[in-house]
């Protein structure tokens, strides 16, 4: 049996002080242990924070283009290893190879993007009110950033937190999710090989209650960035801000797609189908509600049911239409919500069945589920499922569609399918979501524009990605120079 993979602290690969380990199994075949990892605790996290704190000042003093060069080389290393990273991601997290490949490419692109943004790192010059005086601003790193990332995008989300933090002169301590930590450790390996100084990048696999809590509570951590569930995100945010740390949390979603009476129904079916069932619905931006005008409702329900029935299900390594759930907890949660929807009176059109025969008997497979006649008071309408379950609701007109779409505590992503330009603009104006799309699925994000939600989908402090990420990981100093 291979040796357990170690954590990365202060430029070295080290075992957990406790000696504890955790197995990561293939969600498509739970009899296969993909990797075993050292499972760190509070002492390991403290060592990582101490290393980051000691190294950060020298990293901040390095010219920004030199930091960018290290990020650029990191991107090149990841690009060389794209195929093996893709397979690792699929085997640990379960998503189909094509989706995993796209995610790895996104991580590559993020490092290339922030490598170039490092050249622009600086400030602005402002006009002064008096003569022989200049006024300017400069951006400086916050310090040490604690990063807590989820399992569903195990290389893209660590990349979009790490790259802007490093580009702007911060040191980082990353706690990846234990269900799929391998890709995050591979990021650390690539950064190490690219020349990142010791202590600037640290990755500790461990629990939220030990490693995560250390990051939120340590006096040497200056900023905390979290992505995950709303329940945990609010706890992380409250703990981090108790001692005035800078903090952000991007959390859950219950994302709607409105289908208007002017929509091309076949197009709407494709948009909703990909958004609802892609990556097994395990995305915070997944389409979980379709809100459909009564004139096209029956046609849409028939179409989306046929779409769900047509999806092939299988191991991610076979690149099927839909892969497994990541673990038993997520698997059982989806099955529970299917039962809840039936009990509450939604019409069960298709799916939501456990697949436990043949080659799929040892995996966490569920057929994609479609429920129609869903009303806003149902849990299947209001609560995040995080699985391939679509709730379809009928509305009489566009105003009702907007009202129904906004009728949730979440506000992450929303879309509309329409051929009416006025409706498109009205939707953009009135949707209570941080990301709005017209004639596009709710999933899928550009890396150079801000990302974040409204309401319980975000702490609404800072956005991620693009220039917004640079804002989070920096603080502004205003300089008055009399001469």
Q: Across the chain, which distance is largest between two alpha carbons, in Å?
A: 82
Cα–Cα distance, 341 to 426 (Å, whole number): 31
As a dihedral over the C-alpha atoms of residue 88, residue 94, residue 97, residue 99, rounded to 10 degrees, the angle is -110
User: Cα(286)–Cα(277) distance, rounded to whole angstroms?
Assistant: 8
DSSP 294-319: HHHHHHHHHHHHHHHHH--B--GGG-
**Catalytic amino acids?**
250
Task: Give strand ranges (E) for 336-381.
Answer: 347-350, 354-355, 365-366, 369-372
Rg of the chain over Cα atoms, rounded to whole angstroms, equals: 23
Buried (b) or exposed (e) across 126-144, using 16+ Cβ within 10 A? eeeeeeeeeeeeebebbbb
Tell how many helices (H) and how many strands (E) occur in the chain: 15, 23
Structure tokens at 156: 């893209």
Q: What 3-state DSSP class applies to 348?
A: strand
Going by their DSSP bridges, the two strands 201-203 and 171-175 should be labelled as parallel
E strand or H helix at 195: none
User: Cα–Cα distance between 319 and 297 in angstroms, integer?
Assistant: 32
Instruction: HSE, CB side, 13 Å, CA atoms: give it for residue 404.
Output: 27
Q: What are phi and psi of 22, to 5 degrees?
A: -135, 135
Q: Are 293 and 379 in contact (CB under 8 A)?
A: no
Distance CA 375, CA 369 (A): 17
Asked if residues 199 and 54 have their Cβ atoms less than 8 Å apart, the reply is yes
User: Rounded distance, CA 14 to CA 377, Å?
Assistant: 51
H or E stretch at 96: none
- Buried (b) or exposed (e) across 260-280, using 16+ Cβ within 10 A? bbebebeebbbbbbbbbbbbb
């Amino acid at each position: 049996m291979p040796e357990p993979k170690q954590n990365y602290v202060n430029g070295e690969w080290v075992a957990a002080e406790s000696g504890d380990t955790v197995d990561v199994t293939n969600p498509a075949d739970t009899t296969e242990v993909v990797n075993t990892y050292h499972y760190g605790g509070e002492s390991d996290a403290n060592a990582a924070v101490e290393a980051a704190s000691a190294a950060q000042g020298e990293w901040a003093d390095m010219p920004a283009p030199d930091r960018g060069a290290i990020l650029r080389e990191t991107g090149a290393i990841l690009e060389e290893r794209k195929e093996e990273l893709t397979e690792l991601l699929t085997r640990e997290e379960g998503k189909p190879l094509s989706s995993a490949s796209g995610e790895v490419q996104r991580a590559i692109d993020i490092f290339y993007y922030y490598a170039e943004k490092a050249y622009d790192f600086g400030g602005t010059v402002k006009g002064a009110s008096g003569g022989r005086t200049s006024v300017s601003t400069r951006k400086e790193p916050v310090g040490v950033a604690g990063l807590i990332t989820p399992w569903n995008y195990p290389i893209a989300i660590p990349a979009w937190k790490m790259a802007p933090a490093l580009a702007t002169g911060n040191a980082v301590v990353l706690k990846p999710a234990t269900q799929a930590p391998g890709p995050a450790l591979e990021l650390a390996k690539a950064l190490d090989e690219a020349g990142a100084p010791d202590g600037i990048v640290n990755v500790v696999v461990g629990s939220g209650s030990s490693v995560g809590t250390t990051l939120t509570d340590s006096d040497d951590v200056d900023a905390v960035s979290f992505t995950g569930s709303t329940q945990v995100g609010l706890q992380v945010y409250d703990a981090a801000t108790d001692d005035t740390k800078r903090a952000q949390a991007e959390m859950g979603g219950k994302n709607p797609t409105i289908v208007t009476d002017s929509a091309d129904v076949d197009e709407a079916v494709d948009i909703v189908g990909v958004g609802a069932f892609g990556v097994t619905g395990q995305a915070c931006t997944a389409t979980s509600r379709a809100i459909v005008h009564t004139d096209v409702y029956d046609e849409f329900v028939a179409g989306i049911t046929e779409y769900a029935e047509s999806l092939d299900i299988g191991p991610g390594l076979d690149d099927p239409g839909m892969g497994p759930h990541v673990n038993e907890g997520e698997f059982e949660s989806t099955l529970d919500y299917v039962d809840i929807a039936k009990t509450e009176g939604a019409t069960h059109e298709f799916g939501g069945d456990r697949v436990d025969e043949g080659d799929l008997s040892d995996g966490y497979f569920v057929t994609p589920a479609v429920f129609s006649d869903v009303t806003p008071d149902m849990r299947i309408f209001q609560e995040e499922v995080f699985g391939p379950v679509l709730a379809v609701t009928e509305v009489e007109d566009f105003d009702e569609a907007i009202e129904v779409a906004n009728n949730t505590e979440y506000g992450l992503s929303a879309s509309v399918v329409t051929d009416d330009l006025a409706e498109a603009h009205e939707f953009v104006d009135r949707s209570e979501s941080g990301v709005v799309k017209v004639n596009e699925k709710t999933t899928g994000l550009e890396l150079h524009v801000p990302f974040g939600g409204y309401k319980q989908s975000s702490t609404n402090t800072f956005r991620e990605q693009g220039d917004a990420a640079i804002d989070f990981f920096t603080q502004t100093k205003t300089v008055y120079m009399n001469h």
